[in-house]
């Protein structure tokens, strides 16, 4: 499996406040970004995998919702996570 519990803890430790705080918006956004990148690579090889395509679209929507929430709640945290994950070019 591409996403082990150790990898999740690493993502939350790097982008959240601490590794055990899995509910932080920044940690969840980073996790969704990791999963989106993985599914994008999968879809480059398997163009007709429509269930994965549907899952990717749902993940992008969830990430967008969290980013909108963070933007409303604390614009500085929003700008920091955008810059850290290189979501805007």
Confidence at 31, pLDDT banded by 50, 70, 90 = very high
For residues 31-65, b (16+ Cβ closer than 10 Å) or e, as one string?
bbbbbbeebeeebeeeeeeeeeeebbeebeeebee
Tokens at 63, concatenated: 């990430």
Question: How many domains in the chain?
Answer: 1
- Rounded to whole angstroms, the Cα distance separating 27 from 17 reads 8
pLDDT at position 22? 87
Task: Name the pLDDT band for 42 (thresholds 50, 70, 90).
Answer: very high
Can you give the residue range of the structural domain that contains 70?
5-85
Q: For residue 42, what is the domain's CATH number?
A: 1.10.287.10
């Amino acid at each position: 499996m591409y996403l082990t519990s150790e990898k999740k803890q690493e993502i939350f430790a790097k982008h959240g406040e601490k590794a055990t705080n899995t509910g932080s918006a920044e940690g969840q956004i980073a996790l969704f970004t990791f999963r989106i990148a993985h599914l994008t690579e999968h879809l480059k090889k398997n163009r007709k995998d429509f269930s994965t395509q549907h899952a990717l679209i749902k993940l992008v929507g969830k990430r967008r919702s969290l980013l909108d929430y963070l933007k409303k709640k604390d614009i500085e945290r929003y700008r920091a996570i955008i810059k850290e994950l290189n979501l805007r070019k």
